[in-house]
Structure 1
Amino acid sequence: MNQTLTINISGIVFHIEVDAYEALKVYLNTIKSYFNNSEEREEIMLDIEARVAEIFAEAQNDKNQVIVMADVNKVIVIMGEPEQYLTDEEEEIPTQKTHRKREDKKLFRDPDDRVLGGVASGLGAYIGLDTVWVRLFFVAAFFMGFGILTYIILWIVMPEAKTTAEKLKMRGEPINIKNIGKAFESEAQKVGEKLQNVDTNKFSSKAGTVLENIVMAIASFFTAVFNIFGKVLGIAFLFVGTFMLVVLLALLFGSTAIFSISNDGVYSMASQDFFNLIFVNQDQFYLASIAVFLLIGVPVIGLIFLSIRMLFKVRSHYSVGLTFVGLLVVGTILAFMVGTRLAVEMSAEEEFEKTEIISPDFNTYVIKTNITEMPGQGVLEDKFTSISIEGDMMYQRFVELSVERSKNDSMMITTNFSSHGKSPKDALNKAKAINYVHQLNDSILFFPDYLATNKEHKIRGQQVEITVYLPLYQSIYLDKSTKELIYDIDNFTNTYDKKMVGRKWVMLEQGLTCLDCNDIEGITSKELEELKALKMVETVIK
């Protein structure tokens, strides 16, 4: 292993082999000797050393932390031999075409050709357009109402080209000895011209300085606001991301996790119990957990990482982004695998129906449901759905009730049981396994708002749909407890389901009609009796 030294170039520390250091030292001293007669020698050398440090930094990686002779040779190739600065003009042949790779341009404000902040001249250099046209654009934009704000924003986001190397990058010129030297000569010439025209430009310079100070003050204000806003946003991202990550981990791997809180109460989920009611086996559960964590957890971790960058100005390597993308791809593949398997498990749907005929012994039947909670321990609870388990039984609140007109004089109740499964036979077996029974006690019809089935049948979209068929002039009373049970009941006045509860309804020729309602168009009991009497007379005549 060759002997190494530690050197400092432009504020950056490098480890360099001795022979490479000697070659670099000779190279820099030779360059310095060519600029002995220049007043800007120190500034030129600082820019050259900054460019050398930049090239060395680009050459370093995890495997190569020491500057070797090949790196010094690369610097000489990029920067050029010192002799080229003096002999370049003599060696140029007008008819000879040279192919020189241009550097990528970078957007800077040009302080040497500025009226206010050098935004227009910097944009002109970047897009290769004369500065006059860019300034005319901003003048036109000013009269259109968006020029000032646009200029201030650009002033804030565009850094000023302070060094010669940055000015060369702004124009897309290679950063080598020749161009650095010419740039300093050009700047010296411009300074001389400004000194000659100092009296002529005195007034315009003062005006420009005043405007520049105003814009600088505005830019400084917005910069401070943006910095504060960035810190606040970073803290918010950190808090939200951490909270979401904790909730996600508790949901996937904890015993119980709070999902959300609303005015209707706490929506809670015992994750392990709930997922066991969906997936066929533990392997599916683990794959689904990993997929959910990758698809949701990785973006959340990215949010936390972004907040840390915003708060502490931490720089990230491009490999971090590639890692995030790779994990998301893996999560997508796993989710597709699990989703495909679940789709197969629920690919078929079957149903069967039970019908019960009821003798209309009462003028009005009262339809009620339970007002107590389902049996067992809640697994998934919110305003619209509920699932609970007790022993080997699973209870689901997927029951709907509707009312229609009977095709004869009989009152009927049909109960439709449906379920999904991996095959028609499997789906039918799951539908037949649903346990649901309504009760008739005198004039009271009691319909539970939940169904029961064995846990081994899993959650496969089991549902019970009840339809009460009313003969003509038969009335019912919808108890207030049925507010969440009834579903899309067709009626004469198109009254919403939740407004139908707590009222009497009678089946007429035009449909279900409100009986003795003050705030809904309907029919009175007296009018109903008259209709019944008229119907009886018509029947006798026939």
Structure 2
Amino acid sequence: MNKTININIDGFAFKIEEEAYERLNNYLETIKQRLGHDEEANEVIADIEARIAELFHYKCQGGTVSLSDVEEIIHTIGEPTEIVDEEDAEFDSSESKDTSSSSSTYVGKKSLFRDPDDRFLGGVCAGLAAYFDVDPLVFRIIAVVTALMSFGVVAFIYLVLWIAMPKAKTLGQRIEMRGGMTFKKMGDNIKDEYQAVSSKFKEYKNKPNYQRMQNRANKTGDAMASGLHQVLNIFGIILGVGIVIWSVLSIMGLVGFFAFKDTLLGLAVTDGNHFIASVPDRFLSHLDQSFLMVAALLVVGIPFLVILYLGLKLIFRFRGHGKMVGFAALILWLAGIVMVFFTGVRIAKSFEETGGLTERHTLKETASEAIYLQPTKADVGHTKRDYLMDINHLELFTQDGDLQVEGAPIINIAHGDSFSMVIEKRARGLNDEDAEFNAKTTMYHWSQNDSILYLDRKFVVAEEALVRNQKVIVTIQIPYGKQLEVSPYLDRFIDEY
């Protein structure tokens, strides 16, 4: 014979066995101790009590509440350890009074679920973000960046996760997805669950076979949930190992490329001739090259490091500062983007100013009735050249394994009282001084032998100067009464004569 007592829950009176009352009272007191005593915690307790009262109405229907009934209802709602992890939520009553209720978060068991409340496609990124405690934006940026670089591999992984990860539908699954929940969010979810359960109980409570079906469903669901949990754990470890291997190889490849880029480009592009490595030196300053290298490492390397971190977390299930790591990674990645933009603006500004240098030469008078323009002998008999590219009328080529930059001069012919020549060198730069230096270091050779004027067909941009739209304009003044004869090698540089 069991002793019974009368209790009141949520305004409803129930007759309950003393042993069942002690179990229920201990259950509610444990939850109260762990949640604290602030206003929102009390609202959560009230919601839980309301749901218990509804379940008592359905199960007992005016009869006595037994210990088995209480145990079944506690199993339905969940043990306190499923709501709050005791080791991770240690705070006394004084702390709970001083702490803002809106910021209190409790951590418990975590599992991978798709988040249907915060999704663009299937909720995979949001579910991973909830599991690793980072902002979903981090996973979405990583997914977009890596999808463009992986030739469909990331898209396939996303599809597999979409199929393998179940969608978080119930309160327990949403709590388990995040490993914890704020008071307010927990209260809202319990209210939703309470309303849903109430309507279902009212609909099915008169069916005689409902209890038998419910018991079978509970057993089947428990077995399936346990098996699915094990499968997800194994799948998570396998996926984590694959992610770690892929990210480590990618990071090693990235570091190796920047460390040995000169040799790799020389072998891949120029069959072992390493002059290709000096091409950036002709267009970019060492400071700009350093900025671009650091920016590339940040923009490309940070997603790989984050993926490596997530892979390790999938394997070892360690607790980490996910939000802090995600925020720091996002800041560094954005810093790389800013550095790329800043360097691009700096390079563009290096073409902003125009400077020049003018050389005036008085040529020796000649008794010959004709003046001859001939190319220099060295220019005609140059060795074999390998053409690389043409940029704004400047030609990049290799000669005897060395990279050189040349341009064609503009030759103007004028008539006057004297025999003279003006050579004007122009270039662009970051400022007037820089532009003048790029122009002054441009090399153009000429010489005179009586009535023959020898001119280079090309001017050379010196190695110490950056390629900045260099030009050479040669103006030759022919005395009146003199004829001009131009070599076929030079006539294409003169518009009219």
- Measured against the shorter chain, the TM-score band is 0.3 to 0.5
Going by fraction, where is helix more abundant, 1 or 2?
2
TM-score scaled to structure 2, two decimals? 0.43
